[in-house]
């Protein structure tokens, strides 16, 4: 992709099936195999991405963070790590501070709620314990990645409003129902979230919400355009969600191209630079 300058990818994963036990990916999936830092290097080395943020796959796993911090020494393009800690845990601050000391690349936290049923996920997001955990993150100048789906967007907004001093980012545009061709009620909920100034949005994960095998790049246009229009070019950022995108037959280059092609006619060069680099650096302080 020419003319983008050096880019930051805010959303990559690695996994090692022997080292850790993952609830996801499952053995029926094409991506149920190891993806190591060498594979990621090969994916990005001919493209514009020079720095990546690693995002946790495992909840309650400081071991995963330590493993990736070790890899980052050998592969310095791994600039930041999002750790899988539980902000609602009583030991959260203690664990966070200890892990940050050991792993200086730690820039934020994510806690996956995909295995919670909707009422439980809502209860979690609005609980005093979780909100207290967000205050701890703000105190240490660290971020929180929100992995959402439309039914729990409003609960996440309650938490974001309760702690205006914490920087939070909505992963994968909160997973709109692209496969079903639905834009409501996601559309209004995302707009409500965008009114909250401490919330940002990752333009990531789209191919995995689309129709398997039969998706087209044009499927994503209304969702990306809406996210950029409500958050504005200062609070959106590119993420590949590699290697998850491989499950849909899209490699890293293809995902980057799809987003750049959608945004190029809409944004100035300076705004493109913000989306593909500057906003991520400002948000994660890398």
Q: Which residues bind Zn ion (CB under 5 A)?
A: 241
Under a CB-based contact definition with an 8 Å cutoff, are residues 31 and 244 in contact?
Answer: yes
Among 172, 181, 173, 148, residue whose Cα is nearest residue 241 = 172
Closer residue to Zn ion in complex, CB, 110/167:
110
Question: How far is residue 210's CA from residue 12's CA, in Å, rounded to a whole number?
Answer: 19
Question: How far is residue 268's CA from residue 11's CA, in Å, rounded to a whole number?
Answer: 24
Nearest-approach distance from CB 202 to Zn ion, in angstroms: 9
Closer residue to Zn ion in complex, CB, 35/163:
35
Nearest-approach distance from CB 93 to Zn ion, in angstroms: 26
Closer residue to Zn ion in complex, CB, 9/219:
9
CB closest to Zn ion, residue no: 241
H or E element at residue 122:
helix 118-125
Closer residue to Zn ion in complex, CB, 112/196:
112
Closer residue to Zn ion in complex, CB, 93/241:
241
Among 198, 88, 58, residue whose Cα is nearest residue 141 = 198
Nearest-approach distance from CB 11 to Zn ion, in angstroms: 6
Structure tokens that stand for 190 in this block: 């995302």
Gyration radius of the chain's alpha carbons: 17
Under a CB-based contact definition with an 8 Å cutoff, are residues 189 and 149 in contact?
Answer: no
Nearest-approach distance from CB 205 to Zn ion, in angstroms: 6
Nearest-approach distance from CB 151 to Zn ion, in angstroms: 19
């Amino acid at each position: 992709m020419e003319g983008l300058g050096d880019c930051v990818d805010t959303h990559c994963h690695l996994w090692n099936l022997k080292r850790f036990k993952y609830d996801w990916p499952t053995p029926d999936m094409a991506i149920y195999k190891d993806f190591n830092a060498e594979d990621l290097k090969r994916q990005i080395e001919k493209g514009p991405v020079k720095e990546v943020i690693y995002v946790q796959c495992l909840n309650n796993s400081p071991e995963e963070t330590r493993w990736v911090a070790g890899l980052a020494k050998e592969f310095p393009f791994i600039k930041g790590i999002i750790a899988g800690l539980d902000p609602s845990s009583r030991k959260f601050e203690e664990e966070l501070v200890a892990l940050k000391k050991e792993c200086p690349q730690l820039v934020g936290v994510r806690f996956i709620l995909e295995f919670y049923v909707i009422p439980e996920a809502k209860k979690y997001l609005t609980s005093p314990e979780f909100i207290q955990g967000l205050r701890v993150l703000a105190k240490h100048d660290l971020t929180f990645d929100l992995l959402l789906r439309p039914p729990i967007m409003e609960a996440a907004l309650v938490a974001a409003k309760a702690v205006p001093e914490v920087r939070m980012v909505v992963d994968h545009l909160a997973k709109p129902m692209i496969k079903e061709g639905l834009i409501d009620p996601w559309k209004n909920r995302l707009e409500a979230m965008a009114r909250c100034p401490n919330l940002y949005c990752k333009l990531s994960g789209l191919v995995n919400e689309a129709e398997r095998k039969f998706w087209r790049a044009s499927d994503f246009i209304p969702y990306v355009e809406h996210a950029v229009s409500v958050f504005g070019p200062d609070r959106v950022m590119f993420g590949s969600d590699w290697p998850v995108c491989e499950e849909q037959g899209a490699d890293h280059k293809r995902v980057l191209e799809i987003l750049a092609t959608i945004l190029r006619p809409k944004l100035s060069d300076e705004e493109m630079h913000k989306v593909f680099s500057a906003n991520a650096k400002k948000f994660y302080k890398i």
